[in-house]
């Protein structure tokens, strides 16, 4: 059962990693810096907001449905007597709900994209990539600072790699009837 739990967790995390790539996050059209940098007109801003408002109710309902299905799956997984076929069916329900949510989001973003000129869309994608890169760099610096702090707490110099304490190696157990135990 533990292997199936791990498999399900990996499946759910992996499916999120591939959700709606290359689309801007949040209400990007309302950010003054973004709007100015891509040359968004007030009319475009109003039209994009209108697309968002038309889509918002459906997105909320689909997200709630996904969360409900995830909860049902989690409850079933925690049930020791859960049937494998029932779990598989619940996984399908979760993934179908996720797909419906991503489809609605992607169509909304497509409608928004159609309101932009090609050069505006290209600038928006470039800004998004720059933002993601800057965030990744900040995360990396934070990890490095954490690692240096752990080294300091262990009394190790900050420029040397952390040397993990390995548990002592155990001799392999000899099982009755194994080749090692047979007398010649």
Banded model confidence at residue 27, pLDDT cuts 50, 70, 90: very high
* Inside any domain, residue 159: no
Q: What is the DSSP letter of 18?
A: T
Q: At what angle do helices 2-17 and 42-78 cross, to 10 degrees?
A: 180
The per-residue pLDDT for range 68-91, each reduced to its tens digit, is 999 999 999 999 999 999 999 999
* Inside any domain, residue 123: no
Task: Check whether 44 has a pLDDT greater than 80.
Answer: yes
Closest CA to 54 of 115, 6, 11: 115
Banded model confidence at residue 48, pLDDT cuts 50, 70, 90: very high
Summarize the confidence of residues 35-42 as an average pLDDT: 95
Task: Check whether 41 has a pLDDT greater than 90.
Answer: yes
* Inside any domain, residue 33: yes
* Inside any domain, residue 105: yes
Task: Check whether 13 has a pLDDT greater than 50.
Answer: no
Lowest mean pLDDT among 34-48, 99-113, 159-173: 159-173
The per-residue pLDDT for range 107-138, each reduced to its tens digit, is 999 999 999 999 999 999 999 899 889 889 99
Lowest mean pLDDT among 26-30, 49-53, 88-92, 104-108: 26-30
* Inside any domain, residue 126: no
Q: What is the DSSP letter of 120?
A: H
CA distance 34 to 39: 8
Number of domains in the chain: 1
Residues of the domain holding 29: 7-117
* Inside any domain, residue 162: no
* Inside any domain, residue 138: no
**Euclidean distance between the first and final Cα of the chain, in Å?**
42
* Inside any domain, residue 134: no
Closest CA to 19 of 89, 136, 92, 102: 102
Sign, Cα dihedral of 129, 130, 136, 140:
positive
């Amino acid at each position: 059962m533990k292997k199936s739990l791990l498999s399900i967790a990996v499946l759910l995390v992996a499916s999120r990693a591939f959700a709606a790539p290359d689309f801007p996050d949040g209400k990007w059209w309302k950010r003054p810096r973004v709007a100015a940098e891509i040359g968004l007109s007030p009319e475009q801003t109003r039209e994009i907001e209108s697309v968002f408002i038309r889509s918002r109710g459906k997105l909320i309902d689909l997200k709630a449905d996904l969360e409900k299905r995830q909860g049902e799956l989690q409850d079933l997984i925690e049930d020791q007597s859960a049937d494998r076929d029932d779990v598989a069916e619940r996984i399908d329900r979760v993934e179908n709900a996720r797909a419906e949510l991503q489809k609605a989001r992607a169509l909304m973003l497509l409608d928004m994209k159609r309101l932009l000129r090609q050069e505006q869309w290209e600038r928006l994608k470039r800004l998004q990539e720059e933002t993601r890169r800057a965030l990744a760099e900040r995360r990396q610096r934070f990890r490095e600072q954490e690692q240096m702090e752990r080294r300091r707490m262990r009394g190790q110099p900050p420029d040397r790699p952390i040397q993990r304490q390995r548990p002592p190696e155990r001799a392999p157990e000899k099982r009755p009837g194994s080749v090692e135990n047979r007398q010649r």
